[in-house]
Amino acid sequence: MEQCTDVYLTVATRGCPFGCTYCVNNTLLAMYPHQKPIRKRGVDNIIMELQEVKNNLPFIDIILFEDDAFFIMSLDEIKEFSKKYKERIGLPLWITGATPTTLTKEKLSSLVDAGLVELRMGIQSASENGKKLYGRPHSNHKVANAVKMVNEHRDKVKASYDIILDNPWETDEDLIETVMFLSKLPTPFELNLFSLVFYPATDIYRRAKKEGIIKDDLKDVYRKYHFETTNTYLNKLFHLLNEYARIGIGISPIIMFILSHKMTKKLHLHWFLHRIIKLLFPFFRYIGRSTRQSTRLYKFGNIIKFGGGDKATYRVSAPYDFSFGDEFHYKSWLSSKTPWLVRKFRKMKLTLFKTIYQFKGEDIIKKK
């Protein structure tokens, strides 16, 4: 039992109607153009599965729906699911398949009443260039409204939003537009910051291949990790904003405007101001956690009271946290933080394995 996670992962739907250019659904929709883009399970079928889990896996504390488009379900279906989930399951509920155009107040309220404690939604980019490239149909106004909806339940629901960085076609102006947009959103929230990966057979992969951005598939695609964002100043602004958003303080649009303005960079003040705000973080963290009750949902390891059913409490999961530089630290609900010496040893072992098997991997790619 000690080796098992306390989270049970399942899906209520399969597929996605949007087909964003970086996503596997982009390829699947093209492969099966005459098939329905999304398939939904019946509410009774979902509840029956979860009852089996509850009866046979007593160590499960949280139910996680990893759908790409959970909220594509109709309001009647979500109301029926919420009612039966609350009555028969009563465990804390996580949902990752939220999109700005399918999320509504009525759907969200029903799920919060049923026991929703964490919600993840994709934003990816707030720049028009980025949204066009990714095939994202959601306007910034629609995204802002969806975030406000979620924030109304901030004392019960932990909110996390996906952002894609390291896009070779996005300019600094595009990144500044996105970080400025995020700085205006109500806190607290958490950002999942991803480095763009060109997954084979997607539209964005074909474009990168055509334009010569992908020079070596092994290095540029298969060995690229989606959580390792590059060490640039603008990327660090996203990480800095993420830290402040988690504690309910955020970074005001005025300060973010100064941090991201070209003149600040010309005067060589950008790194200095960044370090000042970074140094002030412990002070603001204390203020944020002392004055805003909702920030307790974002502190790893916190035990949160849950009144949804059989489980009286649940443990807050850790964010995906990567620092820049040679050392990076990964934390998730699957593992706790390991000692410094152990991390060093693992890194040395990984470097050795990469050196040994690098040439073998290249030979395999060449043969194909």
Assess if residue 342 is contained within a domain: no
Cis peptide before 188 (omega within 30 of 0): yes
Q: What is the pLDDT of residue 159?
A: 97
For the chain, what is the domain count? 1
Assess if residue 291 is contained within a domain: yes
**pTM of this structure:** 0.84
Ramachandran angles phi, psi of 292, nearest 5°? -120, 110
Q: What is the pLDDT of residue 312?
A: 72
Assess if residue 1 is contained within a domain: no
Please give the average per-residue pLDDT across 339-360, as a whole number: 65
Q: What is the pLDDT of residue 181?
A: 98
pLDDT digits (tens, 9 = 90+) for 212-242: 999 999 999 999 988 889 999 999 999 999 9
With cut-offs at 50, 70 and 90, classify the pLDDT of residue 73: very high
Assess if residue 360 is contained within a domain: no
Least confident of 6-15, 207-216, 240-249, 341-350: 341-350
Domain that holds residue 114: 7-337
In what order do the strands lie in the sheet containing 62-65? 7-10, 62-65, 93-98, 116-124, 158-165, 190-195
Of 309, 185, 295, nearest in space to 246 by CA: 295
Q: CA 107 to CA 79: how far, in whole Å?
A: 7
Assess if residue 64 is contained within a domain: yes
Residues written for the chain: 368
Whether pLDDT at 358 is above 60: no
User: What tokens appear for 136 in the block?
Assistant: 């994202």
Q: Are strands 313-315 and 303-305 parallel, antiparallel or unpaired?
A: antiparallel
- Mean pLDDT, all residues of the chain: 87
Assess if residue 249 is contained within a domain: yes
With cut-offs at 50, 70 and 90, classify the pLDDT of residue 315: confident
Of 317, 366, 348, 270, nearest in space to 118 by CA: 317
Report H helices in the chain.
24-31, 43-56, 75-88, 105-114, 128-134, 140-151, 172-183, 203-210, 217, 233-246, 253-260, 262-266, 270-279, 281-291, 340-367
With cut-offs at 50, 70 and 90, classify the pLDDT of residue 340: low
**CATH number assigned to the domain comprising residue 12:** 3.80.30.20
Q: What is the pLDDT of residue 300?
A: 84
Angle value at C-alpha 221, between 217 and 224, nearest 5 degrees: 135
Distances (CA, A) of 25 to 71, 78, 128: 16, 23, 22
Assess if residue 363 is contained within a domain: no
At 86, the amino acid letter reads K
Least confident of 262-266, 275-279, 281-285, 356-360: 356-360
Instruction: Please give the torsion angle defined by the CA atoms of residues 340, 343, 344 and 348, in that order, rounded to the nearest 10 degrees.
Output: 180
Q: How large is the angle between the packed helices 281-291 and 233-246, nearest 10 degrees?
A: 30
Assess if residue 359 is contained within a domain: no
Q: How large is the angle between the packed helices 233-246 and 253-260, nearest 10 degrees?
A: 160
pLDDT digits (tens, 9 = 90+) for 30-39: 888 888 889 9
Please give the average per-residue pLDDT across 92-101, as a whole number: 93
Whether pLDDT at 271 is above 50: yes
With cut-offs at 50, 70 and 90, classify the pLDDT of residue 265: very high
Q: CA 284 to CA 218: how far, in whole Å?
A: 43
With cut-offs at 50, 70 and 90, classify the pLDDT of residue 355: low
Instruction: Please give the torsion angle defined by the CA atoms of residues 17, 19, 23 and 24, in that order, rounded to the nearest 10 degrees.
Output: 70
At 306, the amino acid letter reads F
With cut-offs at 50, 70 and 90, classify the pLDDT of residue 354: low
Q: What is the pLDDT of residue 33?
A: 87
Higher per-residue confidence, 154 vs 346: 154
Whether pLDDT at 333 is above 60: no
User: What tokens appear for 79 in the block?
Assistant: 């109301």
Whether pLDDT at 365 is above 50: no
Whether pLDDT at 209 is above 70: yes
pLDDT digits (tens, 9 = 90+) for 156-200: 999 999 999 999 999 999 999 999 999 999 999 999 999 999 999
Task: List Cβ neighbours of 104 (8 Å cut-off, separation of 6 or more).
Answer: 71, 75, 149
Q: What is the pLDDT of residue 356?
A: 62
